[in-house]
Every structure is written in C-alpha cells, then in structure tokens.
Amino acid sequence: MPAAGRKQGRGDLNEAQWRLIEPLLPTQKRGGKWNDHRLMFDGILWVLRTGSPWRDLPERYGKWGSVYHRFNRWRKDGTFDRVLKALRIRLDKDGYIDWDLWCVDGSSVRASRAAAGASKKAKNSQGNTMTTRWVAAEAGGDQSSTWSLTATPFPWPPSSPRARPTRARRSSS
C-alpha cells in the first residue's frame, strides 16, 4: 500500500515492485527523520519518466528539493547501481534478458554537419559519395542517413601488393 493517505500515481511502484527494491535502499542510522523512501523513489521515477524539471514535481511526492537531494545522494553513494544490478540479476535468472541483443544509444551517433548549422552543400570529405551510400544501404540505413557520413569506403584500387582483384565467376546454369 502506498504511504498512508497518499493516492498512488499512474507510474508509481506497486507493492510487488516495492518489495524488490526496499531492502536495497539505505537505512537511517542517525540524524533527523527521513522522508519516506517510497515517496521519494516514486518522485524520482516521475521526474525521470516525464523529463520534467524538478521544480514541476507534483506535490503528492513531497518537496521537490527533498526529492532532488535524495536522488543526488543515492546516485553518488551507489544506491541506484545496487538496485539496477539486483534487478538485472533477477531478470537474467528469470530468462528475461537476451544478452545477444544490442542497443545503440542515439547520443553516440555522429550527427551531420547540417545538424550543427553548417551548410548542407558541404563537400563530402570522406571520398566517393556513391560508395558511402552503398555502404549505408548494405547496412540497412537510408541513403540520407547521418550514419553514412561517418562510413569510410575501402581504398580502391587496393594498396597492398598481394591483393589481386578477383574475377566474377560465371554461373554454369
């Protein structure tokens, strides 16, 4: 049950989820009385889920400053790392994690010159435009993909003395 007298929000943790996380959170040793961990955790999740500024946190989660400071404290002391590690271990044990699946974060993909305000007519310094478009198409990307600007074509003709061009085989059909 959520904290007494508090209505559970749409994205708040349910009882089963809270039982998994609660033992991983720090316990109070001394000092003043802490705000309820569950209330703070739900508030942190609300901000992370919505992308809203901390100051726009709904009042049902308490003072935004308290939630913000708890978030920073747990981030610095490794609480979030412990929670994520425990959840990953449980999901892996239950067979919910596919370790062969990879995800590329958009922040690591190089943007085009035009995305930074440069002219779109800038000359492609990477070499043959047709080659980079072919590489992008083979990789499943769009010809206008920003990814294709970072692709480097293989040098042709080969610079290695041992490399010889191969002849196309004729099919015997």
Residue by residue, DSSP assigns 52-75 as --GGG--GGG--HHHHHHHHHHHH
Residue 58's Cβ-side half-sphere holds a number of Cα atoms within 13 Å equal to 15
Residue 17 lies in a domain: no
Q: Which domain holds residue 81?
A: 39-97
Quote the number of domains for the chain.
Answer: 1
Distance of CA 170 to the CA centre of its chain: 48
Q: Which residues contact 22 (CB under 8 A, 6 or more apart)?
A: 37, 38
- At 11 the pLDDT is 79
- At 173 the pLDDT is 55
0.85 surpassed by pTM: no
Written as six digits, the tokens of 100 are 């062969």
Residue 119 lies in a domain: no
Query: What does the alpha-carbon distance between residue 125 and residue 151 come to, in Å, rounded to a whole number?
Result: 11
User: pLDDT tens string for the chain (173 positions)?
Assistant: 445 556 677 778 888 889 989 999 888 776 677 888 899 999 999 999 999 999 999 999 999 999 999 999 999 999 999 999 998 999 889 988 887 776 666 666 666 666 666 666 655 555 555 555 655 566 666 555 554 445 455 555 555 555 555 666 666 65
CB 43 within 8 A of CB 62: yes
Residue 1 lies in a domain: no
Residue 81 lies in a domain: yes
Residue 86 lies in a domain: yes
